[in-house]
Amino acid sequence: MRNFSYPGRSAVRARNAMITTSHPMATAAGLKVLTEGGSAVDAAITAVAVQTMAEPHMTGIGGDCFALISPDGSADIKAMNASGRAPQGISAAALTDQGMTEIPRYGPHAITVPGAVDGWWRLHQRYGRLDWDRLMQPAVDYASDGIAVHDRVARDWGRSVENVTDDPDASAQYLNSGKAYQAGEVFCHPKLAETMRIIQQHGRDGFYQGPVMEDMVAKLQSEGGFHQEKDFTDTEANFVDPIRADYRGHTVWECPPNGQGVTALLLLRMMERFDLETLSDRDRIHVLAEAAKLAYHLRDTYLADPSFSPVPVEWLLADEQVDGFVAMISRDKATEYAPSDFPDHPHTVYLAAVDEDGMAVSLINSIFDDFGSGISTPEYGVLFHSRGKAFRLEADHPNAIEGGKRPLHTIIPGMLSQDDRLVGPFGVMGGQYQAVGHAMLLSNMFNLGMNPQQALDAPRSFAHAGVLQLEDSHGAEMAGILSGLGHEVDFPSSPIGGGQAIIRDAANGVLVAGSDPRKDGHASGY
């Protein structure tokens, strides 16, 4: 139990249903859907649609989505891949012929066809209970009438102004007289309101066909993009089989490649070989850092769209391989691997929901960078993501850009089960950090005995790009100790990631939820 004399928050507990998001207005909108008899998927769709206005620098209809679903509270987990594909006309050769050595973040070649709206629609078609029109209404209202900007959102907005200054449409839509919106100011987006109304009336076809699609294609082609109308009309999210691994008596479920869920599972498989309960704080940080550097090196080597390049998931998670990987980890010194050349990027939005019938959804939605590509459409205000920046230009690399191909994706929802019962959805935001975040969150709960809120509150570390990042709460003494092992230690200017989780307390029959204090959101239920 936490010390109530210190600032903090308790885990939220509820008997029937729960939703947790990174923004209070999204949580409120999703909770209302649950109280009206909507499914967990209905609540999640409503909440994430609200977040297109509440956290526009992190998510939106111009991005991608992944989800894990337990339809009935069992361990029969389903996965949804709603990540977009590169336009059919693009290739690595076409870009290298233009003198490119990497895909620039700003510009049309970083823009794959957004998959989120199609994913929301297909999730609703299979698992929804309330009318689609009802689910879209809160987002329509916020876009039309405005939403108050919250503190963390304002802080991020202020640090990202330059990301929307080059495109006049994005500047007009996402800046307030040329400046970032401040906490307490009201952000309105009439163009997006009209787009959301069209999606409300016509479902996914309102986005991928007709005037909204034409607006998107015209804008991208004017910027030099390879995009054609058929790239949009043919967009289809897919229900796929999830992948899994066991950790401390639980089964951990992840979406398969092209997402990096296998990286999180590999980390957990490696960490299972260590007695983390008895290790010092120093040793736990060090072991996770060394495992992460190796796991991310393997990710960058092998992960891609499996429809184009087979990904050796079973090989990576096999006992023999995991044992070999663990043997490479030194307990008393830092080891270097080839640095990741995967582009760095900030946060996204993750949310979790459970309804009265036990349905649970773990959903993540992203535009990759802060304000994505920085390119927005003139008529309907669709801000495009920059996920295509994750492709490579080496033609022989598994993740090389190619027409119709999905890029290696960092956004990953998670789900937990035990025996044949659902335990709950969980997820961590934070770009590159997410695979490490999944491992750290579950280790906090199952190795150190923390509840979901405590596990999200705990200090974080992240070894990436040759640097071991420590949040300030670790302190200078710990930084010095880790430097002595050979780590280059840095205290980042921003907190590391975010996260949400809902776990069923089987002993008491209640849901226990947490929401990361690094964001503005909270959990709520009944």
- The pLDDT tens digits for 60-71 are 999 999 999 999
Spatial separation of the C-alpha atoms in residues 418 and 358, rounded to whole Å: 15
CATH at 261:
3.60.20.40
The helix/strand/coil state of 515 is: strand
CB 55 within 8 A of CB 351: no
**362 in the same domain as 248:** no
Does residue 327 share a domain with residue 476? yes
Total count of domains within the chain: 2
pLDDT of residue 485: 95
Q: Quick one: pLDDT at residue 126?
A: 98
- What band does 245 get if pLDDT is binned at 50, 70 and 90? very high
d(CA 263, CA 479): 26
- For residue 114, which amino acid is it? P
146 shares a domain with 94: yes
Q: Check whether residue 126 and residue 252 sit in a common domain.
A: no
SS3 116: helix
Instruction: Name the token pair of 411.
Output: 């956004």
One-letter amino acid at 447 equals: N
Residue 408 included in any domain: no
* DSSP designation for 113: P
233 and 244 together in one domain:
no
pLDDT tens, residue by residue, 446-491:
999 999 999 999 999 999 888 999 999 999 999 999 999 999 999 9
Contact present, 370 and 159 (Cβ < 8 Å): yes
In a domain, 77, yes or no: yes
Task: Give the Cβ contact number of residue 101 at 10 Å.
Answer: 9
Sheet holding 461-464, edge to edge: 461-464, 467-470, 489-490
| Pair 86, 210 in one domain | yes
Q: Do 119 and 16 belong together in one domain? A: yes
338 and 371 fall within a common domain: no
Angle between helices 475-483 and 281-302 (to 10 degrees): 60
- CA distances 294 to 100, 272, 309, 340, 354, Å, are 29, 15, 21, 10, 35
Enter the tokens of residue 308: 């184009």
272 and 322 fall within a common domain: yes
State whether 264 and 194 are in the same domain.
Answer: no
pLDDT digits (tens, 9 = 90+) for 164-208: 999 999 999 999 999 999 999 999 999 999 999 999 999 999 999
pLDDT at 101: 92
Beta-sheet pairing, 489-490 with 467-470: parallel
Q: What is the DSSP letter of 185?
A: P
216-226 burial string, b = 16+ CB within 10 Å, else e?
Answer: bbebbeebebb
* Contact by Cβ (8 Å): 487, 289: yes
Q: pLDDT band at 341, cuts 50/70/90?
A: low
Task: Name the DSSP class of 408.
Answer: P
Domain interval for residue 296: 240-344+421-525
Report yes or no on 196 lying in a domain. yes
Query: Would you say residue 405 lies in a domain?
Result: no
In a domain, 3, yes or no: no
In a domain, 404, yes or no: no
Residues 183 and 319 in one domain: no
Q: Is the separation of the CB atoms in 180 and 161 below 8 Å?
A: yes
Residue 198 CB partners (closer than 8 Å, separation 6+): 206, 207, 210, 211, 212, 380
**Per-residue DSSP letter, 156:** H
Q: What is the mean pLDDT of residues 262-284?
A: 96
**188 Cβ partners below 8 Å, 6+ apart?**
143, 144, 145, 146, 147
Q: Is residue 217 one of the residues assigned to a domain?
A: yes
Token couple for 324: 């070999």
CA atoms of 340 and 14, how far apart (whole Å): 42
Q: Is residue 498 part of a domain?
A: yes
Task: Please provide the DSSP assignment of 308-349 as one string.
Answer: TS---HHHHHSHHHHHHHHHT--SSS----PPP-SPP----E
Percent of the chain with pLDDT over 70: 98
Do 145 and 75 reside in the same domain of the chain? Answer: yes
* 400 residue type, one letter: A
Over residues 12-66, the pLDDT tens digits come to: 999 999 999 999 999 999 999 999 999 999 999 999 999 999 999 999 999 999 9
